[in-house]
Amino acid sequence: MRTPPIARVCFVGAAIAAAAVTGRAQAPASGPTFDVVSVKPYVAGRDAGPVGAMMNQRPDGGLTMNRVPIGLILAFAYQPISTADMVGLPDWATREFYNITATASLSNPSLDDQRAMLRAMLADRFRLVTHRERREVPSFDLVLANSDGKLGPGLVAASGDCDAVMAARRAEAEAASRSGGPPPSQRFDPAAPPPCLFAAMPNGVRGELTIGNLASMLRNPAGRVVVDKTGLRGWYRVTLAFDFAAYPELARTAPPDDAPSVFTAVREQLGLRLEPSRTERDVLVIDRLERPTEN
């Protein structure tokens, strides 16, 4: 199993309960917007930059995105909705990549400001129209695999107080944002995960996280929403490796991989199981989304 030497860290806070919202959104709600936006298709071999999609918020309020699929921008703009909770998302929105740069008059925007600015950009440049619905969707329940509750070798209780560590890190990031300084480093070495940090990679999950976090990370490789029904509380150190089957774009370019499927990996490495089920979820219905004209 080959894993990237360095991966971006995914910081995940407490789960957010989203209220059901209905009604068609013909235009984003009023709020801050970018001043100037440049959108260009990413061309492999022509454009320099990191291999993975990157979204970098600048202190001046602008944003730089390299090799990013529009589905990823939608997921950030409409959190806690993920691409697994979208209906009508065209295939090209997850398989085609763009380089996007934007300038803004609003410096040090909050997360809510950033999301509002992205929604306005999507409506303007990609002609996005959406609405939300409450629907019953296919899902997986994440449950204990063994009747005696024994966990696998890749799932071990964390030794530190990760809730306190994460609160301190959030405070540090907020202080840096207020001062206009650079955000705390988010680089992560999967071979030696530091305490209370984790990385979700195309071929697995490494680091310390809650089981609720893990369920969220399993959505894309499992192909459905995953609901935590293990009853496990607290933080765990997770070492999980599976194949690239759920990521066709990566599977075409990744080295040969002999790792098991995500379903086998979850059972054998973590001592958990993914059971088919159905659950009610808020979904984002994509009524309209067009490729942008390049500028």
Does residue 264 share a domain with residue 164? yes
pLDDT on residue 223: 83
Tokens 């950030």 correspond to: 76
How far the first Cα of the chain sits from its last, in Å, is: 40
- On whether residue 204 sits in a domain, the answer given is yes
Q: Which domain holds residue 240?
A: 151-270
pLDDT on residue 179: 76
pLDDT on residue 286: 96
pLDDT on residue 55: 62
Does residue 161 share a domain with residue 93? no
Binned average pLDDT, 10 residues per bin, the chain of 295 residues: 37 30 45 92 71 63 87 90 87 92 87 91 96 92 96 94 88 78 66 80 86 91 91 95 62 54 95 96 94 82
- On whether residue 2 sits in a domain, the answer given is no
- On whether residue 17 sits in a domain, the answer given is no
Would you say 88 and 132 are in contact if contact means Cβ atoms under 8 Å apart?
A: no
- On whether residue 18 sits in a domain, the answer given is no
Does residue 176 share a domain with residue 83? no
Does residue 124 share a domain with residue 81? yes
Does residue 173 share a domain with residue 113? no
Domain count, the chain: 2
Does residue 52 share a domain with residue 95? yes
pLDDT on residue 125: 95
CA-nearest of 127, 29, 8, 39 to 78 is 29
Does residue 181 share a domain with residue 211? yes
pLDDT on residue 9: 36
**Distance, CA of 212 to CA of 226 (rounded, Å):** 9
Does residue 45 share a domain with residue 85? yes
3-state secondary structure at position 125 = helix
Does residue 166 share a domain with residue 257? yes
Would you say 129 and 201 are in contact if contact means Cβ atoms under 8 Å apart?
A: no
- On whether residue 95 sits in a domain, the answer given is yes
Does residue 156 share a domain with residue 234? yes
Does residue 158 share a domain with residue 265? yes
Does residue 170 share a domain with residue 120? no
- On whether residue 34 sits in a domain, the answer given is yes
pLDDT on residue 49: 57
| List of residues 6+ apart from 44 with CB closer than 8 A | none
Angle subtended by helix axes 70-77 and 111-125, to nearest 10? 140
- On whether residue 275 sits in a domain, the answer given is no
- On whether residue 12 sits in a domain, the answer given is no
